[in-house]
Amino acid sequence: MFKIIRVNMSDLSVKSEGISEAYSGLGGRGLTSAIVANEVDPLCSPIGPNNKLVIAPGLLGGTNCANSGRVSAGAKSPLTGAIKEANSGGQAGGYLSRLGIAAIVIEGHAEQEKLYKLYVGKDKYELSEANDLRGMGNYATVDKLKSAFGEKAGFVTIGQAGEMKLAAASIAFTDRELRPTRHAGRGGLGAVMGSKNLKAIVIDPTDGEVAPVVDKEAFKAAAKRFAKALQEHPVTSQGLTNYGTDILINIINEAGALPTRNFSSGRFEKAENVSGETLNKITVERKGNPSHGCMSGCIIRCSGDYMDKNGEYFSKWPEYETVWAWGPNCGIDDLDAIARMDRACDDFGLDTIETGNAVAVAMEGGVKPFGDAAGAEELLAEIGRGTPMGRILGSGAAVVGKTFGVRRVPVVKNQAMPAYDPRAVKGVGVTYATSPMGADHTAGYAVTANIMNVGGSVDPLKADGQVELSKGLQVATALIDTAGLCLFVAFPVLDIPDALTAVVDMLNAKYGLSLTTDDVMALGQKVLQIERDFNARAGFTAADDRLPEFFRQEKLPPHDVIFDIPDAELDTVFNF
């Protein structure tokens, strides 16, 4: 029987309860968003006692379905003021499901100046003081927890940024090797955890069991078909497996959509130096593993081991968006420097997209020159130390833009844009503008049809068809995030009809249901409606579903295009 664990930081109580009617049939993003929308005052302070942090595995978590162990974190966002869900790989999602936990809800506010850690095991939940972890980065925190709880647990932690309640703070989840390299990065959820004075959650899977399945044979057959689709599709069996997400550097650069030097160009002249092909080459030369899964059950394995010049493990492969944020967007072409900044972000507990954008905006404001890798590393180190400059940078790109008088600030709902210029990948521009999450490529990844000819083909430079494309993808993504599937399964799901049918069949077999494809798509729509409703009550209107005006005024080289999708069309995205 699945349950919800409620942790009240005001009276330091931990209680377990069954799943109420309002939350039944939901998991992952669907469940985090439903709890936040139902139980959090939309007008509350995101770092006050009335916000709640919800951590939930997906509907398919804890099963033998490939790539199904993602974990969602949700709350009112300190960065956007809107509802937020950010999900992560690592072991936590699978472990929670195997312990029969549908969600952990962290409520209230510890008044004392004390830090706490939460232990979650098989029918055992315990809060205890953790002042010895104060001021530590995620790596040192995990090392200390490992020596206390052993190597079998999964750890969920915040670094210095979360303790400082900075709006770019992330929540770290350990991977299979117990490294804090997987993050619920976006929207400052680490600051919410920090505001609760909760430094760490220890998830001990001992005595946990494979999640119950009503029809085991039907589930097994559907899981096999799903895995086959993942192994057949070229993106999930070759591209991502061999070159990681960084394979996109050359592709997006070629498309003229790689935001360069703070969104002033769509081409970076030194892109090859930071490409997935180069990342793979130096990894092989340094005898690292170029194909690594961040969680059990991943058969795509888009990650890899980044080795230093001496051939020692240094960090996980930086994601494409991370390489871009610290690379082309700051005018930097040094992969070793980018890997150092990625590791520092993992350690301080920072969203690489928000922080890289913040530094790029600071560069435009004259704080450091574009291309100054050492300067960017110095600025990042200031965030870890909590200097006044560091705190400004750790508050995100919008705050930095205001501080240094920069007009070109690429944010929507205060959240910085990822690695696709919306003028040259217009479907992504629609997603940035309208997603309840703020600028978020994962919310409706229109790069598929705009650039990769996956799930059809829509000209990335034209307005035609982009609203329909983004709409369909936002609905499908809400479903994938609710199921707890890694978003990269979307490539086969879009191209191989049986992959989506297999997902529906697995949901039916696991829960004893008879849903149709339309039913599960309606679930995706419902999740979006819940999120939009919360945002409306928080004061968001259609005027917030817009890109910054410079995207309509400044032509992006090399295609010399602007973002030209009419506002009236943007306002139709959620007409279901």
Which residue ranges make up the site for ligand SF4 (CB under 6 A)? 67, 89, 293-295, 298, 300-303, 486, 488
Minimum separation from the CB atom of position 89 to ligand SF4 (A): 4
Minimum separation from the CB atom of position 260 to ligand SF4 (A): 25
Q: How far apart are CA 132 and CA 109, in angstroms?
A: 20
- Rounded to 10 deg, the angle between the 352-364 and 335-348 helix axes is 120
Minimum CB distance to ligand SF4 smaller for 34 or for 295: 295
Minimum separation from the CB atom of position 247 to ligand SF4 (A): 12
Minimum CB distance to ligand SF4 smaller for 62 or for 266: 62
Minimum separation from the CB atom of position 452 to ligand SF4 (A): 16
Q: How far apart are CA 426 and CA 470, in angstroms?
A: 9
DSSP single-letter state for residue 260: B
If phi > 0 it is left, if psi is from -120 to 50 it is alpha, else beta; for residue 192 that is alpha
Q: Which long-range contacts (CB under 8 A, 24 or more apart) does 549-557 make?
A: 550/407, 550/408, 551/410, 551/422, 551/423, 551/429, 554/408, 555/423, 556/256, 556/263, 556/265, 556/266, 556/421, 556/423, 556/424, 557/256, 557/265, 557/266, 557/267
Minimum separation from the CB atom of position 489 to ligand SF4 (A): 8
Q: How far apart are CA 212 and CA 2, in angstroms?
A: 10
- Is 318:247 a contact under the CB 8 Å cutoff? no
Q: Bridge-partner residues for 54, per DSSP?
A: 74, 105
**Locus of tokens 């329909």:** 468
DSSP single-letter state for residue 160: H
SS (H, E, C) 339-361: HHHHHHHHHHCECHHHHHHHHHH
Opening angle at CA 47, ends 43 and 48, nearest 5: 70
Minimum separation from the CB atom of position 295 to ligand SF4 (A): 5
Minimum CB distance to ligand SF4 smaller for 166 or for 452: 452
The amino acid that residue 273 corresponds to is: N
Minimum separation from the CB atom of position 270 to ligand SF4 (A): 26
Minimum CB distance to ligand SF4 smaller for 181 or for 260: 181
Taking the CB of residue 10, how many other CB atoms lie within 10 A of it?
Answer: 12
Looking at the chain, the number of H-run helices and the number of E-run strands are 24, 16
Q: How far apart are CA 359 and CA 521, in angstroms?
A: 39
Minimum separation from the CB atom of position 244 to ligand SF4 (A): 8
- Is 492:236 a contact under the CB 8 Å cutoff? yes
**Both structure tokens of 160:** 């210095």
Minimum separation from the CB atom of position 138 to ligand SF4 (A): 18
Minimum CB distance to ligand SF4 smaller for 14 or for 235: 235
